[in-house]
C-alpha cells in the first residue's frame, strides 16, 4: 500500500474509534469525577483512563461523580486490593442526598490472601436500607479488571457482574414499597478500613504492614437516560431479563449467594419485607 492509502486508513481508524468512544460517553476520570477524600491517596493517571484509591494507616480515599443521574446504565471496571486485603472495604455506589436518600450499593469486603472476597449489595429507598444480599464471586476479583454494572430503570434495579445479573430489585410500589425514582444520584467510591466488621464479622484485622492497599478503576461508562439516543436500544426497552439472563441469575443465586435478607426469618420474625414476595406477585 502507498503512503496515501496508509494515511487514509489511519485517518479512518482515528475517526471511527473516536465515534465509538463518543457514543460510549467518554469515560475520562478527569472529566467525570472529583477526588474528594484522602488527598494524594486518590489518583487519576494515564490521561484520565485509570484511577486508583489507596488506604494506609492514616486515611482511606474516595471520589464522586461530577454529574447526577436519574435512571441509566452505569458500568465501571474495578480491580480490587490484592494480597491480604482483610479488614478493607471498597465501596462503590449510587446515592442521593439527605435523610430520605436512595442508595444502590456494592461493597467489596476484603480477605486474607487466597480467601474469597464478599460482594455485599444493598438498596436504600427513602432513607431505609436493610436489604442486604451477599455473594462470593466466581473469579478472583484482584487478578484482573471486572465490570460491575447497575441498570436503574423505573421498573427495576439490576446488579450485574461481567454482564451476569446477580440481583434484581423490582419496583414494588404497587404493594407499598418505595422505589428510587425521584431523586437523582451521584456515583461514589471509597476505600477504607472496616476491620471492626468486614472480614469474618471483624475477627480478622487489617495487617498494616501490607499498607498501602490499592484498588483500581477504569472504563467508566454511562448510558444516561436523559441523553436519549441509546435508549431506543431494544435491550433497554424491555423490562424483563431474557431467558439466558434469568438462567444466569438463578445460577449465581444458587451457587454464589451467601446471604439474602429475604430468607432471614431470624431477623424478620414477623415476616420478611413485602418486596421479598415471589416476583410473579409484583
Ligand atoms: C473470608 O474467608 C473466610 C474463610 O474462607 C470466609 O468464611 C469469609 O466469608 C471470607 N470473606 C470475608 C469478607 O470474611
pLDDT, tens digit (0-9, with 9 covering 90-100), for 236-268: 667 789 999 999 999 999 999 999 999 999 999
Return the minimum-mean-pLDDT range out of 101-110, 116-125, 238-247: 238-247
Give the strand pairing for 33-37 and 61-65: antiparallel
Taking the centre of ligand 1 as the mean of its atom positions, its distance from the CA of residue 199, in whole angstroms, is: 6
**Mind giving me the DSSP string for 154-207?**
SSEEEEEETTEEEEEEE--GGGT---S-SS-BEEEEEEEE-TTTTTGGGTSPP-
Higher pLDDT, 108 or 238: 108
pLDDT digits (tens, 9 = 90+) for 174-230: 999 999 999 999 999 999 999 999 999 999 999 999 999 999 999 999 997 766 555
Rounded mean pLDDT of the chain?
A: 89
Tell me: pLDDT of 15 over 80.
no
Tell me if 69 sits within 8 A of 102, measured CB to CB: no
Query: Of residues 39, 107, 173, 240, which has the active-site annotation?
Result: 107
> Pocket of ligand 1, candidates 200, 205, 258: which has the most ligand atoms within 8 Å of its Cβ, to mutate?
200
- How is residue 37 annotated by DSSP? E
184 by Cβ neighbours in 10 Å (0-12 / 13-18 / 19+) ranks as middle
% of the chain at pLDDT higher than 90: 82
Distance from first CA to last CA of the chain, Å, rounded?
62
**Of 92, 60, 88, nearest to 76 (Cα)?**
92
Tell me: pLDDT of 280 over 70.
no
Taking the centre of ligand 1 as the mean of its atom positions, its distance from the CA of residue 179, in whole angstroms, is: 32
Which domains, ranges and CATH numbers included, belong to the chain?
Answer: 7-280 (2.60.120.200)
Tell me: pLDDT of 21 over 60.
no
Return the minimum-mean-pLDDT range out of 17-31, 35-49, 101-115, 148-162: 17-31
**Of 100, 102, 26, 29, nearest to 70 (Cα)?**
102
Tell me if 101 sits within 8 A of 198, measured CB to CB: no
- Average pLDDT for residues 138-163, to the nearest whole number? 97
Pocket of ligand 1 (CB under 6 A): 109, 111, 115-116, 118, 198-200
pLDDT digits (tens, 9 = 90+) for 32-67: 999 999 999 999 999 999 999 999 999 999 999 999
pLDDT for 19 equals 41
- pTM of the model as a whole: 0.89
pLDDT for 229 equals 58
pLDDT for 76 equals 98
What are the C-alpha distances in Å from 185 to residues 29, 64, 203?
18, 11, 34
The number of C-alpha atoms within 13 Å of 253 and in the hemisphere containing its C-beta is 16
SS3 state at 222? strand
> Pocket of ligand 1, candidates 193, 199, 201, 204: which has the most ligand atoms within 8 Å of its Cβ, to mutate?
199
Tell me: pLDDT of 26 over 60.
no
pLDDT digits (tens, 9 = 90+) for 219-229: 999 997 766 55
- CA-nearest residue, atom 5 of ligand 1: 115
The grid cell for 116 is: 474469597
pLDDT band at 14 (very low <50, low <70, confident <90, very high): very low
- How is residue 13 annotated by DSSP? H
107 is a catalytic site residue: yes
Amino acid at each position: 500500500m502507498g503512503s496515501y492509502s496508509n494515511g487514509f486508513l489511519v485517518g479512518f481508524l482515528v475517526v471511527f474509534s473516536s465515534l465509538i468512544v463518543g457514543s460510549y460517553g467518554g469515560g475520562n476520570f478527569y472529566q467525570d469525577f472529583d477526588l474528594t477524600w484522602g488527598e494524594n491517596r486518590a489518583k487519576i493517571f494515564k490521561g484520565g483512563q485509570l484511577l486508583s484509591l489507596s488506604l494506609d494507616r492514616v486515611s482511606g480515599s474516595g471520589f464522586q461523580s461530577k454529574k447526577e443521574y436519574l435512571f441509566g446504565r452505569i458500568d465501571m471496571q474495578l480491580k480490587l486490593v490484592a494480597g491480604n486485603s482483610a479488614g478493607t472495604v471498597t465501596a462503590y455506589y449510587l446515592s442521593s442526598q439527605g435523610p430520605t436518600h436512595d442508595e444502590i450499593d456494592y461493597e467489596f469486603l476484603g480477605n486474607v490472601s487466597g480467601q474469597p472476597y464478599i460482594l455485599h449489595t444493598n438498596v436504600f429507598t427513602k432513607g431505609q436500607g436493610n436489604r442486604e444480599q451477599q455473594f462470593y464471586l466466581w473469579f478472583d476479583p484482584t487478578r484482573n479488571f471486572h465490570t460491575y454494572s447497575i441498570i436503574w430503570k423505573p421498573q427495576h434495579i439490576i446488579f450485574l457482574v461481567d454482564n451476569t445479573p446477580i440481583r434484581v430489585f423490582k419496583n414494588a410500589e404497587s404493594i407499598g414499597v418505595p422505589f428510587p425514582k425521584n431523586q437523582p444520584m451521584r456515583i461514589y467510591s471509597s476505600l477504607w478500613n472496616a476491620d471492626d466488621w468486614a472480614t469474618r464479622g471483624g475477627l480478622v484485622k487489617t495487617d498494616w504492614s501490607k499498607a498501602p492497599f490499592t484498588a483500581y478503576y477504569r472504563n467508566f461508562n454511562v448510558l444516561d437516560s436523559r441523553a436519549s439516543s441509546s435508549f431506543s436500544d431494544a435491550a433497554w426497552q424491555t423490562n424483563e431479563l431474557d431467558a439466558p439472563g434469568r438462567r444466569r441469575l438463578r445460577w449465581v443465586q444458587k451457587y454464589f449467594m451467601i446471604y439474602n435478607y429475604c430468607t432471614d426469618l431470624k431477623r424478620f420474625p414477623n415476616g420478611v419485607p413485602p418486596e421479598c414476595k415471589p416476583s410473579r406477585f409484583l
